[in-house]
Structure 1
Amino acid sequence: MSGNNSVSSALVPLQQRPLLLPIACIIDVLDYRRPEETDADISWFLGNTHWRSQNIPVISFERLNQRQFAEFSATNRIMIIRRTTEECSIPYYGVVIQGMPQTQTITEKDIIDSSEETGPAEKMQILFKEVPVILPDLGFIEEKLSEVLAPAVS
C-alpha cells in the first residue's frame, strides 16, 4: 500500500488475537461442523470438511502458530480460503474461526507495527485502529498444508 491506496480486508475473530486478511482470500464462511478425522497425527490439522462437492482440509491457526487452542465453542465457524501460492497443492482450505469476519477498508495510516515477537505462521503483529491483530503468513500455512497432504495428493 502506498499513498491513498486502500485494501478491502476482513478482521477475522480467533480465540486470541484476530487475523487481518485481504477480503479476496476469503471465499466462504461455514457454520462449524467437526472435520472428518484423517490419519495425520498433527495437532493443527483438524481433518477435512465437505464444501461444494470437495473435501477441504481444515486447520487451527492457533495450533499451527504454536499458541493455545481451546475446545470448540458455539461461535465457531470454518472460513474457506483460496490458496495464494501456486506451490500449494490444494485450491482451498479451511481455518476454524470464532464468529463472522468483519469487513474493513484499510490504508497505510491505519496500520502501526506493534514490534511484538511473531509466531511461525505470522508475517507480523500490528495495531489496526488501536486493536492488536495478526497478519498471517499464508505462504507458510500453505507450505505446511502441502507437506501434510503431499502423500494423499501424489
Structure 2
Amino acid sequence: MSENQITSADNKPEQVDCLLVPLKDRNLILPNVTVAEVIPFSHLLTTNASTDWILGRLDWRGTLVPALCYELMSGQAAPAPNPDARFIIVNGVNANPQMPFYAILVQGIPRLMHVGENDLQEVEAMGMGQFDKVAVTFEGVTAMIPDLDSVELQVQATL
C-alpha cells in the first residue's frame, strides 16, 4: 500500500492528492479528483455569452465544454499571452447534465501535491476575488481554494 493511501482508524485519508494550478499572479489548489484532464491550449469555438470571462467552448472528447478565464471572472486583468498556457477540464460538482464539465485557462502545468490535514495554513490575502473561498499556504506557497460551486453556478447562469 502506498504512503498516500494509508488511512486512519476512522477510514479518513491522511492525505489528499491536490493540484497546484498556476494562474497569472496566483495559484489555485484543487483536489485532484475535480480535474478530469490537463490539455494544451487550443482554438476555441465561439459562444454567445454576454461576458468577457467566457472565452468560448472547447471540443473535448466530443463534448462542448465552456472555457473561462478565472482572473477575468474574479474582476482582475486578463493574463498576457503565454506559450505555456493550458486548459484544465474541471468535473462539474452540481451534476448538471447540460454542463458536466467546464475548462479553466491556466498559465502552466499544474503540480501534484499530497496535502495532509494540517499542511494547509489559512492566511490573510489581499485581492481575494469573489470566487476565492480561502487563502492558504502550503510549503511556503500562497494559493487560493476556489468556491467551485459558485464558479459552476455562475457559468451556468451566464450561458
Q: What TM-score results when the alignment is normalised by the length of structure 1? A: 0.89
**Inter-CA distance 42–88: structure 2 relative to 1 (3 Å threshold):** farther
**Inter-CA distance 47–4: structure 2 relative to 1 (3 Å threshold):** closer
| Cα distance between partner residues in 2 of 1:73 and 1:18 | 16
| Cα distance between partner residues in 1 of 2:102 and 2:75 | 19
**Inter-CA distance 4–83: structure 2 relative to 1 (3 Å threshold):** closer
**2:24 maps to what in 1?**
15
| Cα distance between partner residues in 2 of 1:11 and 1:60 | 17
| Cα distance between partner residues in 1 of 2:138 and 2:87 | 23
Matched, 1:119 2:129: yes
Deviation at 1:66, TM superposition (A): 1.2
5+ residue gaps, structure 2, are 1-7
Larger radius of gyration: 2
SS in 2 for 1:109: coil
Does the 8 A contact of 1:44 with 1:63 survive in 2?
yes
User: Alignment RMSD, CA only?
Assistant: 1.8
Matched, 1:141 2:137: no
Deviation at 1:88, TM superposition (A): 7.7
Does the 8 A contact of 1:87 with 1:143 survive in 2?
no
> Paired residue for 2:40, among 28, 31, 36?
31
| Cα distance between partner residues in 1 of 2:115 and 2:132 | 19
> Paired residue for 1:71, among 55, 80, 85?
80
- Identity, % of aligned positions: 26
Name which of structure 1's ranges 55-64 and 87-96 shifts more when overlaid on structure 2.
Answer: 87-96
Letter in 1 for 2:113: Q
Does the 8 A contact of 1:88 with 1:146 survive in 2?
no
Correspondences of 1:87-98 after superposition (within 5 Å)? 89-98=98-107
Letter in 1 for 2:114: T
**1:131 maps to what in 2?**
141
| Cα distance between partner residues in 2 of 1:131 and 1:78 | 22
**Inter-CA distance 51–107: structure 2 relative to 1 (3 Å threshold):** same
Deviation at 1:4, TM superposition (A): 7.2
| Cα distance between partner residues in 2 of 1:88 and 1:44 | 22
Letter in 1 for 2:24: Q
5+ residue gaps, structure 1, are 150-154
Does the 8 A contact of 2:50 with 2:158 survive in 1?
no
Name which of structure 1's ranges 117-126 and 93-102 shifts more when overlaid on structure 2.
Answer: 117-126
